[in-house]
Amino acid sequence: MSNTLENIAITTIDGRDTTLAEFSGKLVMVVNVASRCGLTPQYEQLEALQKKYESRGFTVVGFPCNQFMFQEPGSNEQIAEYCSTTWGVTFPMMDKVKVNGRGRHPLYAQLTKTKDADGKAGAVKWNFEKFLVTPAGNVMRFRPTTKPDAPEVIAAIEANLPS
């Protein structure tokens, strides 16, 4: 993972300060998530990816975001409870962040420079935009409507697993 991304401060959903260096050597899928979105069922596919590939050096990292039609209004505690009880989420969840505009989290300031399959960089379009960060620091971007288990996502995961 590139030092630029690796050294950006992040906070876990339970308030612990860390950085992406905690996941050094892993293939990391960074996703902005929301509990009240039409795309919320993607949690099920994200968790399936986590279970299938975590032993091979892969992890999903969820970043709750309330910027899209206020679809993540809860507290960190409520979000953690919802994800655990409704979707059985076991992957790491972080503190609620802004992914666009003023106050955008520094991680997303970096990630949004990455172009998608259509060659477009820039703002996160909606909840459940996915950024796949390789151990070498390369980033691939998948827009919200691309499901976590889409063939192109699975191919990118399998081509970049560290072990």
**How many C-beta atoms surround the C-beta of residue 103 within 10 A?**
8
d(CA 4, CA 151): 29
DSSP 8-state assignment for residue 94: B
AA identity, residue 72: E
| Pairwise CA distance, residues 132 & 136, whole Å | 11
- Going residue by residue through the chain (163 aa), what tens digit of pLDDT does each one get? 556 888 999 999 999 999 999 999 999 999 999 999 999 999 999 999 999 999 999 999 999 999 999 999 999 999 999 999 999 999 999 999 999 999 999 999 999 999 999 999 999 999 999 999 999 889 999 999 999 999 999 999 999 999 7
Residue 61, domain extent = 3-160
The per-residue pLDDT for 126 is: 97
The residues annotated as belonging to the active site are 37
* Predicted pLDDT at 1: 56
Total of domains in the chain = 1
CATH number of the structural domain spanning residue 105:
3.40.30.10
How far is Cα 86 from Cα 48, in angstroms, rounded to an integer? Answer: 14
Which pLDDT value is given to residue 120? 95
The per-residue pLDDT for 33 is 97
